Amino acid sequence: MTDIPVYQNFINGEFAPTPKNTIDVHNPANGNLLSRVPESETGEVEHAIAAAKAAQTGWAAKPAIERAGYLRKIATKIRENADELAKVITLEQGKILSLARVEVDFTADYLDYMAEWARRIEGEIITSDRVGENIFLFRKPVGVVAGILPWNFPFFLIARKMAPALITGNTIVIKPSEETPNNCFEFTKLVAETDLPPGVFNVVCGSGAQVGSTLTSHAGIDLISFTGSVETGARIMAAAAPNITKLNLELGGKAPAIVLADADIDLAVTAIKNSRVINSGQVCNCAERVYVDASVADQFIDKITKAMAMTTYGDPIARPDVDMGPLVNRIGLDKVAAMVETARAAGGTITTGGKIAELGQGFHYQPTVIADCRSDMEIMRKEVFGAVLPIQVVSGLDEAITCANASEYGLTSSIFTKNLSFALQAVNQLNFGETYVNRENFEAMQGYHAGVRKSGIGGADGKHGLYEYTHTHVAYIQT
Ligand code: TXE
């Protein structure tokens, strides 16, 4: 029997002693035990925050171009180890290897992209009402960032939080999801091989209830950057409230895809299917409910049913050719199964799938299409983290937009039409942070990934995401 690795926290530039209490990490495709990771104690979390605090002033004092150099070194190391890292992600998270490889490459590119901002972070000089005065706006780091990660793109999310934090002069304490921590520790090993100053990047692992709540209620944290569920986001807001800690929250979505009468139906089918199947449907911004015009509904439903039915699934290591791996855990699988059952009972027609897959092992759910859905059904309102596509028939764009906007979420949305006026009307009237026109939902690192309503507060990526990690300091200089 091979030894099960036991990972250690990374605090103040050193790996901590072997943890006393651990959490087991399993492969969702077959249940095998992969590793043991720390269930950190409060003292360790406080130690990490203190280390980040102590390092922050010196780190912020370095020229940004020097800070960029460290991000570039880490990016290079990621590229040198890309295949191994992709395998670690697949084993613990369940996504197919080719997607894990995309995630690894994107992460390295993201670190390089954020490094490019070193020479572009700008303040402002504003005209004064007073003679001989200049008003300067400086962009300054907020201080110590807590980065709390989800499990769906766990490797990329390290960089999405760390890179803008570090380039703007903050230090960070990362808490990976207890479902998928191994890739974060492998990332950390690469960081440890660089000469990044101690305390700038720290990792403490553990459950949300213990480690997450210690981090989010701690007065030493200046910004909490969290990606995860609405429920946990609300708990984090409550924990942050006594310290009035700044928040950046990405809390998922229920992305509508609108298919109009003039749409290229084959394009819409391919894009929506790909969007729903990627990462086994566990993606915050991907198409989660369709509003299709009545005139093309039968054609669309027929084609998307066939496309979803042809989607293959299985253990992504044993069968590298599959389109989808398992869901991340039993809770996720049971949740998807229950939501489909509720939709069926409420009058939804399952045109393909609709069951837990009988593969003998792993948390697999069949790719599923549900026709005859209505706006009042749970499946059209609540996030479903699985390859399940509910479809509602509508009459024209106005009804589609009204239905799309009637949601507690507001992250992403998409529309398929050949008419630019319809596309622009949708962009103007959809109350969402992102809209994709005639393409699958997948954001660019130079864009801005952000939602309205319960999808969160603030955003990530690009210039606007970068500046979330700064505060603005104004100086009135009378000469
Ligand atoms: O999320 P949680 P879960 C959605 C998706 C999914 C559902 C539940 O619908 O089915 O959330 O997933 C940490 N204080 N998304 O339970 O609980 C936790 O340890 C501080 C959408 O896995 O939000 C982990 O590191 N932290 C999504 C992280 O929060 C706490 C991605 C996410 O876990 C905490 C993932 C606490 N009290 C799930 N409790 C997206 N936006 O893409 C937990 N955590």
What is the 152 CA–ligand 1 centroid distance (Å)?
10
Q: Is the CB of 208 under 6 A from ligand 1?
A: yes
pLDDT over 90 for what percent of the chain? 99
Q: Looking at residue 2, what is its pLDDT? A: 67
What is the 396 CA–ligand 1 centroid distance (Å)?
36
What is the pLDDT confidence band of residue 3, given thresholds at 50, 70 and 90? Answer: confident
How many angstroms separate the CA atoms of 151 and 202, rounded? 18
Q: Is the CB of 235 under 6 A from ligand 1?
A: yes
Q: Quick one: angle between helices 182-192 and 64-80, nearest 10?
A: 120
233 and 291 housed in the same domain:
no
Q: Is the CB of 227 under 6 A from ligand 1?
A: yes
Q: Is 392 inside a domain boundary?
A: yes
78 and 196 housed in the same domain:
yes
Q: Is 1 inside a domain boundary?
A: no
Closest ligand 1 atom number to CA of residue 232: 23
Q: Looking at residue 9, what is its pLDDT? A: 98
What is the pLDDT confidence band of residue 127, given thresholds at 50, 70 and 90? Answer: very high
426 and 283 housed in the same domain:
yes
Q: Is the CB of 457 under 6 A from ligand 1?
A: no
Sequence-distant (6+) residues with CB within 8 A of 244 are none
Q: What are the tens digits of pLDDT across the range 423-451? A: 999 999 999 999 999 999 999 999 999 99
Residue nearest to atom 7 of ligand 1 (CA): 229
Q: Is 135 inside a domain boundary?
A: yes
- Residues 171 and 223: beta-carbon distance below 8 Å: no
Q: Is 311 inside a domain boundary?
A: yes
Residue nearest to atom 13 of ligand 1 (CA): 208
Number of independent structural domains in the chain: 2
What is the 229 CA–ligand 1 centroid distance (Å)?
5
425 and 464 housed in the same domain:
no
Residue nearest to atom 19 of ligand 1 (CA): 208
Q: Which two tokens mark 261? A: 């009468």
What is the 232 CA–ligand 1 centroid distance (Å)?
6
CATH code of the domain covering residue 422? 3.40.309.10
Using the predicted structure, report yes or no on whether residue 19 has a pLDDT greater than 70. Answer: yes
CATH code of the domain covering residue 37? 3.40.605.10
Q: Is the CB of 177 under 6 A from ligand 1?
A: yes
Question: What domain range includes position 458?
Answer: 10-251+454-478
Which among 220, 218, 125 is positioned nearest to 170, based on CA atoms?
Answer: 220
Pick from 157, 158, 232 the residue to mutate for probing ligand 1's pocket: most ligand atoms within 8 Å of its CB.
232
458 and 437 housed in the same domain:
no
Residue nearest to atom 25 of ligand 1 (CA): 177
How many angstroms separate the CA atoms of 308 and 287, rounded? 13
What is the pLDDT confidence band of residue 393, given thresholds at 50, 70 and 90? Answer: very high
What is the 423 CA–ligand 1 centroid distance (Å)?
33
Residue nearest to atom 33 of ligand 1 (CA): 228
Q: Which two tokens mark 205? A: 């692992």
What is the 113 CA–ligand 1 centroid distance (Å)?
27
Segment 414-427 shows an average pLDDT of: 98
Q: Is 243 inside a domain boundary?
A: yes
Closest ligand 1 atom number to CA of residue 215: 20
Residue nearest to atom 35 of ligand 1 (CA): 228
50 and 93 housed in the same domain:
yes
Using the predicted structure, report yes or no on whether residue 1 has a pLDDT greater than 60. Answer: no
Q: Which two tokens mark 479? A: 């000469």
25 and 143 housed in the same domain:
yes
- Residues 220 and 27: beta-carbon distance below 8 Å: no
Q: Looking at residue 220, what is its pLDDT? A: 98
What is the 70 CA–ligand 1 centroid distance (Å)?
29
| Residues catalogued as catalytic | 250, 284
Segment 367-395 shows an average pLDDT of: 98
Q: What are the tens digits of pLDDT across the range 209-223? A: 999 999 999 999 999
Dihedral of the alpha carbons of 331, 335, 338, 340, in degrees to the nearest 10: -140
Q: What are the tens digits of pLDDT across the range 66-113? A: 999 999 999 999 999 999 999 999 999 999 999 999 999 999 999 999
Q: Is 467 inside a domain boundary?
A: yes
Beta bridge partners of 11: 14
Q: Is the CB of 154 under 6 A from ligand 1?
A: no
232 and 114 housed in the same domain:
yes
244 and 264 housed in the same domain:
no
Q: Is 2 inside a domain boundary?
A: no
What is the 178 CA–ligand 1 centroid distance (Å)?
10
Q: Is 449 inside a domain boundary?
A: no
Pick from 148, 157, 229 the residue to mutate for probing ligand 1's pocket: most ligand atoms within 8 Å of its CB.
229
What is the pLDDT confidence band of residue 361, given thresholds at 50, 70 and 90? Answer: very high
436 and 473 housed in the same domain:
no
Q: Is the CB of 250 under 6 A from ligand 1?
A: yes
Q: Is the CB of 148 under 6 A from ligand 1?
A: yes
Residue carrying structure tokens 């091989």: 193
Q: Looking at residue 375, what is its pLDDT? A: 97
Residue nearest to atom 8 of ligand 1 (CA): 229
Closest ligand 1 atom number to CA of residue 284: 42
Between CA 170 and CA 172, with CA 171 as vertex, the angle to 5 degrees is 120
Q: Are strands 144-148 and 133-141 parallel, antiparallel or unpaired?
A: unpaired
Q: Is the CB of 284 under 6 A from ligand 1?
A: yes
Using the predicted structure, report yes or no on whether residue 409 has a pLDDT greater than 70. Answer: yes
- Residues 318 and 91: beta-carbon distance below 8 Å: no
259 and 375 housed in the same domain:
yes
358 and 414 housed in the same domain:
yes
Mean pLDDT score of the chain = 97
